[in-house]
A and B are shown apart, each in its own frame.
Chain A
Amino acid sequence: MSIIKADGVSIRYITGDFKDIGLKEYVVRRLQGRYKVTEFWADRHVSFSLERGDMLGIIGSNGAGKSTLLKAVSGIMVPTEGHMEIHGSIAALLELASGFDGDLTVRENTYLRGAMLGYTRKFMDEKYQEIIDFAELQDFQERPFKQLSSGMKSRLAFSIACLVSPDILILDEVLSVGDGAFRKKSGDKMREILNSGVTGILVSHSLEQVREMCNKILWLDHGKQIAFTDEVSLYCDAYEEFLRTKKLPQNRQQVEQLASGWQAYLQQQRRQAERTEAQRLEAMLESGTSEAAVQAAVSVLKKRRPDLLAAQS
């Protein structure tokens, strides 16, 4: 049975100048026939399904509808058309640090967030210490939340969302939280969670992360689904080539073309890099007046390519 199943999901946004006009202005505009709302589809006919333990990477440029889709998965939005089936509890890490209350203490905010994620008081009592320890906020428990630094805030948010062991984990650009040490810790924790059989969805602009962590890929462009596939590296290649050339693939063949284009580009880059490095080294040796530079070159050659030296002498 699939944990998440999206079937032709479409989400329509409405925009326009309706937001800040009041009731009076609304009535006036309605009477004058000047009231306009424009609609646009943030997601159109998106279908995918995830089994237990799957990790889906959603890729696409800005405005592709990734975050909107995540909102639909986490139940914040309801699809305008289509159908979304979810089996299990969800922890959604969307824009982590928002939704906390500045006047409440760290402890109170932790409990409040836990409650919002749908956990019980007993569960939070058990997990609280672990969360604080993980976020390294032991000395700040009774401080008002607004006094924390922004890094600390996201650390707390991350810890709460991760330590409550959900069935489904949704990550929206959250793997780059905190300083270097915490980032490593959170990355490790994330992998540990994913290995424990959680179903995950990851939105990231870092394709390295996607390649490393995901086994399925959903490619969106302006709300349209370009691909849903488990050929991660092929499609990541194609996507990177798309980012370079801005050509959308229409069929499988073009995807392969794009991917091989990307590989060729990479190779070219690599050759280019090698060439510049060789040039730089040569220049250094040429301009080096000291004997030491030449000695160093010879010793490197001795170690790495003794055959070259032998042929010379």
Chain B
Amino acid sequence: MKTLLKKIKSNQFLFEELVKRDFKQKYKRTVLGMAWSVLSPLLTLLVMSLVFGQFFGRSMEHYTIYLFCGNLVFSYFRESTTGGMNALMSNASIFTKVNVPKYMFLLSKNVSALINFGLTLCVFFVFALADHVSFGLHFLTLLYPVCCLVVFNIGVGLILSAMFVFFRDTGYLYDVFVMLLMYMSAIFYTVDTFPPVMQKLFLLNPIYCYIKYFRVVVLEGNIPSLGFHLLCACYALVIVGIGGFIYKKYNHKFLYYV
């Protein structure tokens, strides 16, 4: 534990510099770049609420917020994992020449996705306020799914970045997978219309769980059960465990494949 802390401390400077670099690379030092990263999920939201609002929105209160919950979580997941997937390959010229801990590249990519998520979250709260959702102290529990998501995304990033080094078509396959996942995450529809058994099956999808957590807190004003908390944490820990194992096992082999 002590060595781990020491390691983190000694790499802190590198971490900060990498985050700065990723941030500058992404926004190219433009103000509009930052604004766009908030604007883009809003536009998606607009399109979706126009299209699906006609079908599902009529029977539901706060449909826009319901939609926003799903979009918010899912776009963070997508951005963070696709960014993480590229983290190793795009820095290949560095880690083949300088001895740096490679997971640093992944972590810094995750941080810039997290910042983006934070910005969108602020907009989300503004929307929620405008839509007369009742705010309260229970909103603080939202930190819990966010933490789970961060860990979960890092885990998926670890797995994907390693796979991307070995198989270059991982990107295309992952795109297809993400699309499938999106349709299975009940972003724009509700699961209420499904039979109870099917509704249980949705819980197998970690992203759906995190979205559901948001909805329960924001829309229903409740805090989910303890079991649900455990389920969320469980997904995150299992994925990050698998990712860590893969990273540790293949860490030294990446060099041969880039």
Contact = CB atoms under 8 A, between A and B. Distances in A.
Category for how many chain B residues contact A: 20 to 34
A17 interface: no
Category for how many chain A residues contact B: 35 or more
Contacts of B21: 101, 104, 108, 112
A108 B24 contact: yes
B97 A112 contact: no
A112 B170 contact: no
Interface stretch (B9-17, B73-81, B139-147, B240-248): B9-17
Contacts of A35: none
Interface stretch (B109-117, B212-220, B231-239, B250-258): B250-258
A188 interface: no
Interface stretch (A20-28, A146-154, A224-232, A238-246): A20-28
Interface centre among A25, A95, A114, A115 (most CB of B within 10 A): A115
A74 B100 CA distance: 10
Given A94-B97, A104-B21, A23 B169 contact: yes
Given A99-B94, A112-B18, A78 B169 contact: no
Given A22-B168, A115-B17, A92 B98 contact: yes
Nearest to A78: B252
Contact of A101 (B16, B25, B163): B25
A14 interface: yes
A119 B16 CA distance: 13
A287 B94 CA distance: 64
A21 B255 CA distance: 16
A242 B18 CA distance: 47
B138 interface: no
Given A23-B167, A101-B25, A121-B13, A95 B255 contact: no
Given A76-B99, A116-B94, A103 B13 contact: no
Contacts of B20: 108
Contact of B95 (A76, A78, A92, A114): A76
A116 B14 contact: yes
A41 interface: no
12 contacts: A21-B167, A22-B167, A74-B98, A99-B98, A103-B24, A104-B21, A108-B17, A108-B20, A114-B13, A116-B98, A120-B13, A121-B16
Interface of A: 13-14, 18-26, 74-78, 90, 92, 94-95, 98-99, 101, 103-104, 108, 111-112, 114-121, 124
**Closest 5 pairs between A and B when the two form their complex, measured CB to CB:** A22-B169, A23-B167, A115-B14, A75-B99, A99-B94
